[in-house]
Amino acid sequence: MNRCSVLVLAAGQGTRMRSRLPKVLHSLAGRPLLWHILQAVRGLHPERLAVVTGFGAEAVEHVLASPDIHWVRQYERKGTGHAVQCALPALHGLRGDLLILNGDHPLVTTAILDSLLQHHRSHGMPLTVLSMLVDNPSGYGRVMRDDAGRLLRIVEEKDASEEERAIREVNTGFYCLSLDRLSDWIGAIGNQNAQNEYYLTDIVPMAKAEGGVEVWMCPDAEGLAGVNDRAQLAELERVFRDRRIAEWMSRGVTFVDPSSCWVAADVQIGMDTVIESQVMLGPGTVVGEGCQIGPFCHIQESVIGPDCRILPFCHLEGTEVEAECTLGPYARLRPGVRLARKVRVGNFCEIKKSTIGAGSKISHLSYIGDAQVGSGVNVGAGTITCNYDGVHKHRTVIGDHVFVGSDVQFVAPVQVGPGATIGAGTTVTKDVPADSLAISRAHQTHVMNWAEKRKVRS
């Protein structure tokens, strides 16, 4: 009785974007436009989810590949009605209601789609059109009503008169209808219009003749806004950011300067975390409870445990940071880094593809790459793991409670046993036994009266 399927139209190029990239792959909040509407659709748990692709179909299907999507190709793009016609085989045998949606409305929510579905079911019409009221209707089809408020027709902008173009109620391109009637309606659509295209809106008079058409004007026009050009994309980016940050603040997260921050769509943030100005939290980021993220930090594809302090100007990508760590300022953690509890990575340090044990400190001006560092290790300023020989990468293994002096070079592959001490200025080229002292620097010598002799020579 309550079965529902969804068809998303995503075949257009989006010529006003002026891009080689399909419009639905342009990014909003770190994810493609089409990703956002698919997330909203999945909240309805549809019996079938079909997506029509056309321009750049291979790229769209690759980026958004998912086993729950039935992909449909529209090889010739001859209008929205033709796109639905291409999808009929993918919908064959289904019963119940069908939502037809456009793939370039990234702010739509599951709640809006569910309201459309319930409105359709409660009024019992064969077709329900979703409309909205906008200040600038440019680019949309206009909703024409009679004096009683009933739908007369929908006029595409290219076919509209000057008087019709002044109408502010517009068609969102979202429809809810009975699957039993879809095939007959689509088969009867013609292309006698300015574009010689098959308009999906032409099913409106057919539905009127069979029982009527309901129009539901959604009160959240921002949530239904589409993207036609880069200016609109930027505006929706702002709207999404403001809504998302407001949502996180309602959950107990502090944003010191919300308008200066950027948060990707899938970011997760724990309660009592404080995020200061100019912070970017990119896709795949999880921040635990009670953290502090300082100004100008950029974090993506990373998991930050609870009670961590990320000081200003840090960059984290593809890293895992356990609880109570302190990073920065100016620390860079590259993909493959894992920090255990209470690790300290200080200013101007870079770590790549390495694990750092609990309580270890890498405080100043060091590079640690392709390394395994144990617990309770102190790494002095200017330490470098020389992990690349020009052809291959090699690992450095440093045991627990090792003390590394300043300006040390580990020429990998090399291992340092637990409890060892590496003297300042040492170049380690062979394994160091546990609890030993390694020193490889030259003996210090003095040339007496050298300064006076230099003055005479000059």
Of 34, 35, 91, 25, which is closest to residue 56 (Cα–Cα)?
25
Return the C-alpha torsion angle 425, 427, 432, 436, nearest 10: -20
- Cα–Cα distance between 174 and 177 in angstroms, integer? 10
Which residues are paired to 434 by β-bridges?
A: none
Which residues are paired to 175 by β-bridges?
A: 100, 129
- Beta pairing class for 169-178 and 97-102: antiparallel
* Angle value at C-alpha 242, between 241 and 245, nearest 5 degrees: 80
Q: What residue type is assigned to position 324 of the chain?
A: E
- Laid out side by side, the sheet with 326-327 consists of 254-255, 274-275, 292-293, 309-310, 326-327, 344-347, 361-364, 378-379, 403-404, 421-422, 437-438
- Laid out side by side, the sheet with 350-352 consists of 262-263, 280-281, 298-300, 315-317, 332-333, 350-352, 367-369, 384-386, 409-411, 427-428
Using DSSP, state whether 363 is helix, strand or coil: strand
DSSP for 177-193 reads EEHHHHHHHHHT----S
- Cα–Cα distance between 5 and 49 in angstroms, integer? 6
Q: Are 56 and 34 in contact (CB under 8 A)?
A: no
How many beta carbons lie within 10 A of that of residue 448, not counting itself? 7
The helix-helix angle for 110-123 and 33-42 (nearest 10°) equals 50
Of 332, 327, 323, which is closest to residue 344 (Cα–Cα)?
327
Phi, psi for 444 (deg, rounded to 5): -80, 135
- Cα–Cα distance between 168 and 140 in angstroms, integer? 9
Q: Are 362 and 345 in contact (CB under 8 A)?
A: yes
Active site residues: 364
Q: Which helix (H) or strand (E) holds 34?
A: helix 33-42
Q: What residue type is assigned to position 47 of the chain?
A: E
Of 110, 93, 80, 114, which is closest to residue 7 (Cα–Cα)?
80
- Beta pairing class for 344-347 and 396-398: unpaired
- Cα–Cα distance between 9 and 131 in angstroms, integer? 17
Q: Are 364 and 347 in contact (CB under 8 A)?
A: yes
